[in-house]
């Protein structure tokens, strides 16, 4: 059975808009008045005909002037607002990225989607959409698998490009920017280790719905794939590796990520986008996502 979010994401990528129907549309009191009261008066005396003088009401015409459409000139970037940005968001969604609702507002969600596109295409990851990049996104073909050897259903994490791709039955379900291990040794609140996201071919093992308060911070809806290392939502997903070892994803993506993947499915962490990777030993020390009671990240 395909998870519900897979169906929703596929509909969004194809340009379909799913509109929920209200179950309360016909509730009492929600429509027009049921009846109008008509009063009739009858007299027992001689019939009297009363003619009311015609009344003339002044008709007021109000003219509303629509504001001119927003004209976006030059490159698009954070803060841009208008039809070009909305078209950009629609094109990113078509390719499998998640720039948020296509509302024509270039915010953090759209910026991270642009980062991922730029990274996959060897462009400077600056979040700025020049006219050349804009045209490239509009004309881009479907994205190909980086690791087709993993089969039709799997997750790919490219550490060099800081992107994550989810594939289901051969269909691309999500491409998102991520932030992985910084590669810097850390020692925080008595917890020390190396901030490394281990390279290797793994499988999703378990998950926690909601917040997980770990020794090194809060993880949102984590899905673990090796020891205490997980894909999880984080309020901060910068344009560079910055985690203690986990794969951070944007919060709006983590809200449905668990519906995209199933425990037991393959997830590969690699560099360069080609060829199977040899697994390495997970970093020592309590990772930021270590399960409750764990002292070694496992």
Domains of the chain and CATH, by start: 83-139 (1.10.101.10), 148-270 (2.40.440.10)
Of 121-135, 255-269, 274-288, the least confident:
274-288
**Residue of higher predicted confidence among 268 and 12:** 268
From CA 190, how far away is CA 205, in angstroms rounded? 28
Query: In terms of Cα–Cα distance, which of 60, 62, 81 is closest to 72?
Result: 81
295: phi then psi, degrees, rounded to nearest 5:
-115, -5
Taking a C-beta distance cutoff of 8 angstroms, is the pair 115, 177 a contact? yes
SS3 182: coil
Taking a C-beta distance cutoff of 8 angstroms, is the pair 286, 193 a contact? yes
What's the confidence (pLDDT) of residue 57? 54
Count of CB atoms situated within 10 Å of the CB of 218: 15
What's the confidence (pLDDT) of residue 68? 56
- Phi-psi map region of 245: left, alpha, beta (phi>0 left; psi -120 to 50 alpha): left
Taking a C-beta distance cutoff of 8 angstroms, is the pair 201, 250 a contact? no
SS3 222: strand
What's the confidence (pLDDT) of residue 111? 98
Distance between terminal CA atoms of the chain? 30
SS3 28: coil
16 pLDDT more than 50: no
Alpha-carbon dihedral sign for residues 278, 175, 214, 225:
negative
Query: In terms of Cα–Cα distance, which of 164, 156, 123, 126 is closest to 140?
Result: 123
Mean pLDDT of 61-81: 75
**Confidence category of residue 70, pLDDT binned at 50, 70, 90:** low
C-alpha distances (whole Å) from 18 to each of 7, 23, 148, 193 are 11, 16, 31, 46
What's the confidence (pLDDT) of residue 285? 42
279 pLDDT more than 50: no
**Residue of higher predicted confidence among 85 and 12:** 85
Query: In terms of Cα–Cα distance, which of 261, 193, 182 is closest to 224?
Result: 261
151 pLDDT more than 50: yes
């Amino acid at each position: 059975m395909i998870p519900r979010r897979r169906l929703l994401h596929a509909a969004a990528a194809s340009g379909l808009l799913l509109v929920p129907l209200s179950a309360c549309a016909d509730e009492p009191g929600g429509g027009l008045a049921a009846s109008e009261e008509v009063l009739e008066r009858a007299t027992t005396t001689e019939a009297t005909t009363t003619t009311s003088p015609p009344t003339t009401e002044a008709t007021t015409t109000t003219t509303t002037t629509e504001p001119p459409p927003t004209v976006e000139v030059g490159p698009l970037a954070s803060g841009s607002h208008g039809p070009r940005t909305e078209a950009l968001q629609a094109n990113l969604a078509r390719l499998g990225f998640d720039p948020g609702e296509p509302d024509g507002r270039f915010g953090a969600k759209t910026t991270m989607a642009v980062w991922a596109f730029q990274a996959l295409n060897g462009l400077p990851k600056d979040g700025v959409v020049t006219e050349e990049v804009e045209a490239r996104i509009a004309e881009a073909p479907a994205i190909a698998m980086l690791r087709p050897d993993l089969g039709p259903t799997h997750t790919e994490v490219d550490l060099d490009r800081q992107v994550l791709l989810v594939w289901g039955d051969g269909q691309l379900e999500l491409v998102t920017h991520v932030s992985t291990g910084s590669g810097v040794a850390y020692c925080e609140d008595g917890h020390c280790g190396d901030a490394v996201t281990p390279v290797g071919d793994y499988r999703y093992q378990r998950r926690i719905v909601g917040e997980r308060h770990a020794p090194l911070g809060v993880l949102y809806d984590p899905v673990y794939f090796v020891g205490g290392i997980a894909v999880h939502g984080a309020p901060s997903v910068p344009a560079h590796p910055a985690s203690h070892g986990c794969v951070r994803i944007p919060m709006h993506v983590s809200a449905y990520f668990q519906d995209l993947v199933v425990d037991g499915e393959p997830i590969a962490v690699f560099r360069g986008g080609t060829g199977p990777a040899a697994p390495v030993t997970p970093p020592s020390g309590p990772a930021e996502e270590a399960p409750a009671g764990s002292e070694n990240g496992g």
